[in-house]
Amino acid sequence: MESFIDSPEEVIELCNSLHQSTQLKKSGRCIKFTNTIFNTDVAVDSWKFMDWDYGKDKIKLPIQARGLFTINDEKIAVRGYDKFFNVDEKVFTKVDELKKSTSGPYDVTLKENGCIVFISGLSNGDIIVCSKHSTGPRDNTTRNHALEGEKRLRLQLGEDKVKQLAKYLAEHNLTAVAELCDDEFEEHVLSYSKDKSGLYLHGLNYNTIQFRTVPIEKVIQFADDWNFKKVDYLTFTDVEKLFEFLEKCSETGKYQDREVEGFVIRCKRNNADFFFKYKFEQPYLLYRQFREVTRQLIIDDIPIQSVRMKKNKFITKKYLEFVSELFAKQPQLKADFIDGHGIIKVRELFLENLHETNGMKLLTIDESLSHELDNLSLQHEIKYVLVPVATIGCGKTTVFNTLSGLFPDWVHIQNDNIAKRSKLKIVDLTLMSLANYDVVLFDRNNSEYRERKQIFTTVDQKRHDYLDETTQIKYIAINFVHDVDYDQLWDITFERIKARGDNHQSIKSDSDELLATKVMKGFINRFQPLDTEREPDSGFDHVINLTLGENTSLGNVRLIIKELAEKYPELIPEQPTEEQISSKFTEALNYKPDYTKNMTNEKPKPVYYGVNIDHSKIIDAVNNQIGGHDSWQSLQGINRVQREFHVTLSHSANARGENKSKWKQIVNKLGKGEDKSGKSYLEFYADVKLTQVAITPDLICLKVDLLGTFDSDFNVVESEHLSTMLHITIGTFRPEVKPVESGIILQKLYADDSTLKPDGEYRVEGNTVTIVNFADESILEKQRLFVYK
């Protein structure tokens, strides 16, 4: 097999560019993570870009690889594929464009449904096995894909052959790309029997900056030679026949009578290797929805009527009713599902209950149930909430004012018109309006995932106070920030804010440009683009992508009307004329708010100060101390390890009596952070010493000491803290046990004697507390302070 290799100078230049990209704030930012190759002392750097930065002409990434590891900034050790996209996902993957810009042969490989594993080697025979972005024993989840991949590799090949493989891959500068498919390790959506489980080889990439991959027929031969499982593939020379084949398969969701997720197509574009994918929408999406709604039902512990269903709601409701009854009869199935197992078994039991074997039949049942309800004239009203995803200055209020002017029955609710102290928040007002109207324009920026999630969760919690059980709510995302980078977003929106001056409820750029600039930067820095491949954005029923630029608001109004009329014709039975649109748009431009929100006097006040703690270092520390302890294994197994760790230093709830003046001193010394609610990082740091692990039947926590607080120049800062028992909650075993219980149990344990207790078991008010002291001094240096408001 031939070899390709970049010069050392080219790789050094790439690594320099990667290092520079880690300093970027938004577009094109790279995250670097250093870990050690398993069973060696060789350090390897992983480089990760945000998924939404790939495939954009306006963002020039140093490399398009999705999965990249380097050694000593001079050698590419592992290289994944260039990120590839679904048909119609990007302009360059539109069907017509693919037919024009690509050339064959078109190798069509089956898209296996597992987790990706990269395999490479060092010249001495050491194997490198990685998940997408890490290698070695460092995953802080219950499943380490890299270690499981290596374990499976050694089982399939044998120890001697693994060493030979490492040398071969190193000699030819290759990365083997495989899919680990094993339902016993981790279930996905499609089933793999015991004999079908294993590592499926589907690619051999050269470890070069430019994407170069070995032809599929040689990959298949390589799989035979080295005992990998093989992926099925077909070859087409005619692009028209290729798409005829793909469309035919999509009608059944099957290939050779087997349900599959879709295909990856390998071809040439601009004389270079090029991949795109063709994913089947059904029944794969229905199966995935079954998995997600089951998690909502049992892990979030909510009633069936509160479960969010994006589509196919009738069959999904029937499935949930079946699952609820099944879990009541067989609680072990429920426990397995929480642990990530039995997902496929539960679905197959449902199919069996309906005397069906084909998932596509479920879609037919869903459709017939829908028609049946229509024929019975049962009321199942549909209400619509239009949710912008935007930052300040995107034109959302102008667009929404125009729409509400054109459609008087559409209710426009502006978050900027709601006083901060008002008991009725925007979600309450939305539900009150939906009780009487069909459409609400939910005028808030919703720039972060947490804000979008809050809409779904709060509506689900409160909807029954306002709406009938049969009423459905469809959420339509109006994506104002689409396909623009950080610099463009800032330039466009800031110019708009300056142009409108004080004509806004809260952002007064004429009166206080400094404050307006600060608030805008805060919004843009926190902005998280819409991503329907992940929660909560996967909950939107439809997305309308707008254009952001100079004078684009009128065009955006037209686009929204056009798309809504096509997707939901009942909303717009008669489209407004161009004259009507222009007239209402002019009125919207002349809109002047009659309410002013005080952004200076009503700033959120600090609730507590804390130290943000490095998550991976805590996981490593806990593993070192109690790695084999049943409680630790159990906490990981039920996925109850906290995703973020911190030490609470001072809480406003303790600012009473003599502590009141201390609290004021702390606020004056550390500051209040950004003028926003939530978490703000401060320019102060602390060294934290881990002293003990405490384990109870309810939780696991760490007792810690604060060794000192200092600023960014390492000047010591004298600052008291009000918390008398500093600790880190690792996790609680049940949702009803709150992290605050950690401090309470430690307070009780040390109520009579503050001397550090030796290893052992202690009784505290009827509960057993197991103490394990850290064997070696464990200090986390320069952990950043934050304030929460």
Contact 406, 584 (CB under 8 A): yes
Nearest to 131 by CA among 111, 112, 151: 151
Q: Which residues contact 284 (CB under 8 A, 6 or more apart)?
A: 189, 190, 253, 259, 261, 262
Q: How many CA atoms lie within 13 A of 328 on its CB side?
A: 7
Per-residue exposure over 156-185, b if at least 16 CB sit within 10 Å of its own CB, e if not:
bbeeebbbebbbbbbebbbbbbbbbbbbeb
The total number of residues shown for the chain amounts to 789
Tally Cβ neighbours within 10 Å of residue 593.
15
Q: How many CA atoms lie within 13 A of 100 on its CB side?
A: 7
Q: What CA–CA distance (Å, rounded) separates 351 from 345?
A: 10
Joined tokens for residue 706: 């604060």
Contact 267, 102 (CB under 8 A): yes
3-state secondary structure of 679: strand
Residue entry with tokens 């898209």: 111
CA-only gyration radius of the chain, Å: 29
Q: Which residues contact 633 (CB under 8 A, 6 or more apart)?
A: none
Pick the catalytic residue from 111, 313, 508, 789: 111
Q: Is 311 tagged catalytic?
A: no
Contact 529, 483 (CB under 8 A): no
Joined tokens for residue 685: 């740091």
Structural element, H or E, at residue 250: helix 239-250
Q: In DSSP terms, which residues pair with 478 in a beta bridge?
A: 388, 544
Per-residue exposure over 561-579, b if at least 16 CB sit within 10 Å of its own CB, e if not:
bebbeeebeebbeeebeee
Q: What CA–CA distance (Å, rounded) separates 67 from 13?
A: 18
Q: What CA–CA distance (Å, rounded) separates 721 from 705?
A: 12
Sheet holding 262-269, edge to edge: 233-236, 102-110, 262-269, 272-279
Residue entry with tokens 């690594």: 15
Alpha helix segments (H runs only) across 478-629: 486-500, 513-526, 553-567, 578-589, 615-626
Nearest to 346 by CA among 333, 331, 361: 333
DSSP-derived pairing of the beta strands 727-732 and 699-711: antiparallel
Q: What CA–CA distance (Å, rounded) separates 26 from 47?
A: 15
Q: In DSSP terms, which residues pair with 181 in a beta bridge?
A: 198
3-state helix, strand, coil in the chain (%, to 5): 35, 25, 35
End-to-end CA distance of the chain: 60
Phi, psi of 629 (to 5 degrees): -70, 135
Chain mean position to CA 441: 26
Joined tokens for residue 432: 């009150």
Q: In DSSP terms, which residues pair with 107 in a beta bridge?
A: 235, 266
Angstrom distances, CA of residue 182 to CA of 148, 178, 193, 575: 10, 13, 8, 53
Catalytic residues: 111
